Structure 1
Amino acid sequence: MRRSSAIGALAITILLAACGKKEEQAPQQAGPVPFPVQTVARENAVVYEEYTANLEGQQNVEIRPKVTGFITQILVDEGQEVRKGQVLFKIETQTLNQDAASAKAKVAAAQVEVNRLKPLVDRKIISNVQLETAQANLESAKAAYSSIAANIGYGTITAPVSGVIGSLPYKVGALVSPTVTDPLTTVSDSHVIRAYFSMNEKQVISFAKTFKGATLQQKLKAVPAVSLLLADGSEYDVKGKLETVNGLADAVTGTTQFRAEFNNPQAVLRSGGKATVRIPVTYENAVVVPQNAVFDMQGKKMLYVVNKDNTVKSKVITVTNTSGTNFIVSEGLEQGELIVVEGAGKLKDGTAIVPQPVKQETPAVDTAAAPAKDSTNAQGK
C-alpha cells in the first residue's frame, strides 16, 4: 500500500514538472518596442575634399660653386637656420691668388706705359694712336684682373636667402667645381610652405562647378580657407589658402596642378614632406541623416521611415556625400519625414514601434575624413 502511494506521488511530481516546462516554452506576446527616431530636416553641411600633397618651402635654392677648388671650411650644419648673406662654405683659391697677383702686375705695367706716352702725345712727339693702343691694353689688363678677383670672391659662398640648410653631401677637402652633379647644399625658406597637389579631370570639372567665377583664378578666390592633415593624422593649426592653378593639364596623366600656401611660424612643416590638403565644400539646404540610420541591402542604401500608425517601411535613398557622422541624401527622402536612427537590423517592413524622438545633432566639422581621393602627387616647380 505504501509502495503504491509512493509511485503515485512520483508520477504526480513528474507530470507537474512537465507542465511547468511547457508553460516556460510557451511564447509570450510582446508589444511594440521603443526605437529612437528623428525628423528629417534641411540644413547646411560641410564636406571636405582631400588631396595628397607634396610640401616645399617658399624658396628652395641650390647652392653650387662657381669656381673649382677644394672645400676648406663648412661653416654650417644640416638643419641649421641661416640668414641671407651668412657665410656657408669656403673654397681654396690659392692658385687664383697667384693669378690675381700676376694680373695686377700687368695692370701696373699698362698704367706705366699710358703715363709715359701721354706727355709725348701732348707735345705731339708721337701719334695719338700709340696712346690709344696703350689705354686699350690697360683696360684689358684691368678686366682680366677684375675677373680673377671676382672668382676669388666666389671662393666664399654665402646664403642667397634666409632659410634652413639641407643635406651636406661634400666634406672638407672634397674637390668641387661648377660642373658637380649634386649641389653643396640647399637653403629652404620654410616660413611659408607650399603644398602642391593635383586633381584629375573629373575633380577639376567638379571644382569648376562648385565654386563661382568666370575663370579658375576667380574660382580660387571663392574657395574658403583650406586645412592640412599631417602625417600623424592631426590637423595643422594654421589655415591656408589656394593660391594658384596650372593653366594646362598634364598631357600624360591628365591632371591639373594646384598650390596652397600655409604660414609656418613654428617650423612644424618641413620642405620635402607630405600632407593632405582638405578643401571645404558647403552643401546648402541639404537633407542630412545619421549614418547609423542607413543600412545596405543588395547594393542599395536604405533606411526605415515611420508611418502615421507607427509602423515602419523601408525606403531606398541616394547618398551624395558624407559630412562627419552624417550622410547627405539627394533622393528618396523629404523634409518632415520621421526615420528610425538606430536598430534598423532588428526591423522589417510593417513592424510596429514606439517612436522615441532624439535630439538632432548639428553636423560637426568633419574631423574624421573619408579616405583621401586619388590624386597624382605633384612635384613642386
Structure 2
Amino acid sequence: MHNHKKILLIALAICGQVIAQSPARVELVAVESRNPTRTIALPAELAPYLQADIEARVPGYIEQVLVDRGSRVRRGQVLVELSAPEMKAQTAAAEANLHQAEADQSQAEAQAAGIESTFARLQEASKTPGAIAGNELVQSEKERDAAQSLVSSRKAATRAASERLRVAKEMEGYLRVTAPFDGTITDRFVHPGILVQGGTHTPLLKLQQTAHLRLTVPVPESYAGHVVSGTPVNFHVSSQPGKTYSAKIARISGALDAQSRTMTVELDAYNKDGSLAPGMYPTVDWPVSSAEPLLLVPATSVVSTTERTFIITPLNGHAHWVNVRKGAAFGDQVAIRGEIKQGDKVVKRASDDLREGTPLP
C-alpha cells in the first residue's frame, strides 16, 4: 500500500513537470507598413508678435505719463502727454492768419461781385449806340479781370494758411503720444518734468503685444524638409508644469543658418490666460514624419543580443530568427529593416529563449 502511494506521487510530479515545461501559446502579429509620425523635443523661444519703443516725435517736457509697467493699452490710447508752449503759440498764430486770409478773401469776393455787376450793366448798355463812351466798357472789363485775379490770389492765400494751420495742429497733436497697437507696457523710462527731444531714438516706453506671441523654433536640417504651414504643434513651459499649449506653424524662413544648420520656423501662439510671456524658452513637441513608408512591429517583437538583432517568424510551424536593423520608435512600435515584408507574421513577445526551430504551439 505504501509503495502504491509512492508511485502515485511520482506520477503526479512527472505530470506536473510536463505541464510546466509545455510552451505557452505564442501570439503572432502582422508587420505593418505606414508613414508614422513621432515627436521630438526641440527648444524654442517666445517673442511678442509686435513690439515697439515708444518715442516722442516732437520736443517737449513730460507733462503726464498715463501708463506704467504692466498697463494693458489699446491702439490709439494716449500714453504720454508733452508740454510745449511755443508749439501752442504757433498754432494760435496759424489760426489768426487763417482768419485774416478768410476775411481778405471775403472782401475781395464782395468787391469782385460789385465790379462784375457794373460790367454787366455797361455791357448791356453798350448794345444801344451812343449810350456809353467807347473806352468805358473796356476799362470796366479790365477792372473785372483784376478783381477776379485778386479773388484767386486771396483763395490761394487762404488755402496756404489752412495748410499751415493743419500742420501746426498735427505737430501739436504729437504732444499726445499714443499706442500704435494693442499690447502691454513692459518698461517705462521717463517721468514728468523730463525734457525729451523728438526724433532722437530716445524711448519713453516699451510696448509689446503679449496676447499674440511668436513661437520661434530652430528646426534641425534633418527635419526641415517636412515642415508644413498650418500644422498644430504642442509646447510646454517650465513655469506651468503639466500644462500643454498649442500653436500653429505660420512662417517658414526657407533657409538654413550656416552655423547652426537649423531653419527658423515661427508659430502663432495665443496667450489667452496670460500665463505665457515673451522671453520664455518653451520645449516644443515637434512632429516628425517619415518621407517613405516604414515597416513597423511591436517593440517587444525585436530581440537584441550582443551578437545580433532579430525578430521571430513562424516557418513551417517552427520559430525562425530573421536578422533586422532597428530604427526609430513610434509609440509602442519600432521601425525595422531586413528580410521581412508587410503582412508577414512575427512573434509579438519574442526572446532568445525561443530558439531557432522550436515548435510554435
- Which TM class, normalised by the smaller chain length? 0.5 to 0.7
Shift of 1:267: 1.7
- 2:100 matches 1:109: yes
Shift of 1:191: 3.0
Shift of 1:136: 2.0
| CA distance 1:339–1:292, change in 2 (3 Å) | closer
One-letter amino acid of the counterpart of residue 261, structure 1: D
- Matching residue of 1:260: 267
Shift of 1:149: 1.0
Task: Name the CA distance, whole Å, in 1 between partners of 2:38 and 2:102.
Answer: 78
Which residue among 43, 66, 82 is the counterpart of 1:91? 82
SS at match of 1:85: coil
- 2:278 matches 1:271: yes
Task: Name the CA distance, whole Å, in 2 between partners of 1:296 and 1:155.
Answer: 78
| CA distance 1:267–1:129, change in 2 (3 Å) | same
| CA distance 1:328–1:243, change in 2 (3 Å) | same
Shift of 1:147: 0.9
| CA distance 1:181–1:302, change in 2 (3 Å) | farther
| CA distance 1:106–1:240, change in 2 (3 Å) | same
- Matching residue of 1:320: 327
Which residue among 157, 177, 182 is the counterpart of 2:177? 157
- Matching residue of 1:228: 235
Task: Name the CA distance, whole Å, in 2 between partners of 1:117 and 1:264.
Answer: 64
One-letter amino acid of the counterpart of residue 76, structure 1: V
Task: Name the CA distance, whole Å, in 2 between partners of 1:292 and 1:64.
Answer: 66
| CA distance 1:251–1:285, change in 2 (3 Å) | closer
Which residue among 38, 53, 56 is the counterpart of 1:47? 38
SS at match of 2:255: coil
Task: Name the CA distance, whole Å, in 2 between partners of 1:38 and 1:87.
Answer: 73
Which residue among 326, 336, 346 is the counterpart of 1:329? 336
| CA distance 1:149–1:83, change in 2 (3 Å) | same
- Matching residue of 2:55: 64
Structure 1: runs of 5+ lacking an equivalent = 1-30, 209-218, 356-381
- 2:190 matches 1:199: no
Shift of 1:100: 1.2
- Matching residue of 1:78: 69
| CA distance 1:184–1:112, change in 2 (3 Å) | same
| CA distance 1:306–1:256, change in 2 (3 Å) | closer
Task: Name the CA distance, whole Å, in 2 between partners of 1:104 and 1:260.
Answer: 52
- Matching residue of 2:287: 280
One-letter amino acid of the counterpart of residue 280, structure 1: P
Shift of 1:118: 2.6
| CA distance 1:54–1:294, change in 2 (3 Å) | farther
SS at match of 1:167: strand
- Matching residue of 2:154: 134
Shift of 1:61: 4.3
SS at match of 1:226: strand
SS at match of 2:266: strand
One-letter amino acid of the counterpart of residue 174, structure 1: I
SS at match of 2:284: strand
- Matching residue of 2:347: 338
Which residue among 163, 166, 172 is the counterpart of 1:146? 166
Shift of 1:324: 4.5
- Please say if residues 169 and 182 of structure 1, whose CA atoms lie closer than 8 Å, have aligned partners that are also in contact: no
| CA distance 1:89–1:348, change in 2 (3 Å) | same
Deviations 1:225-279 (A, max 9, x none): 3111223584653433222323x42574565432222332212222333323323
One-letter amino acid of the counterpart of residue 88, structure 2: N
One-letter amino acid of the counterpart of residue 66, structure 1: R
- Matching residue of 2:125: none
Task: Name the CA distance, whole Å, in 1 between partners of 2:306 and 2:68.
Answer: 61
Q: TM-score when scaled to structure 2?
A: 0.66
| CA distance 1:307–1:134, change in 2 (3 Å) | closer
One-letter amino acid of the counterpart of residue 287, structure 1: L
SS at match of 2:76: coil
Aligned-pair RMSD on alpha carbons?
A: 4.4
Task: Name the CA distance, whole Å, in 2 between partners of 1:251 and 1:238.
Answer: 27
- 2:110 matches 1:119: yes
Deviations 1:149-169 (A, max 9, x none): 111112112223222222113
Q: TM-score when scaled to structure 1?
A: 0.63
| CA distance 1:262–1:319, change in 2 (3 Å) | farther
| CA distance 1:314–1:84, change in 2 (3 Å) | same
- 2:258 matches 1:249: no
| CA distance 1:296–1:145, change in 2 (3 Å) | farther
- Please say if residues 85 and 159 of structure 1, whose CA atoms lie closer than 8 Å, have aligned partners that are also in contact: yes
SS at match of 1:73: strand
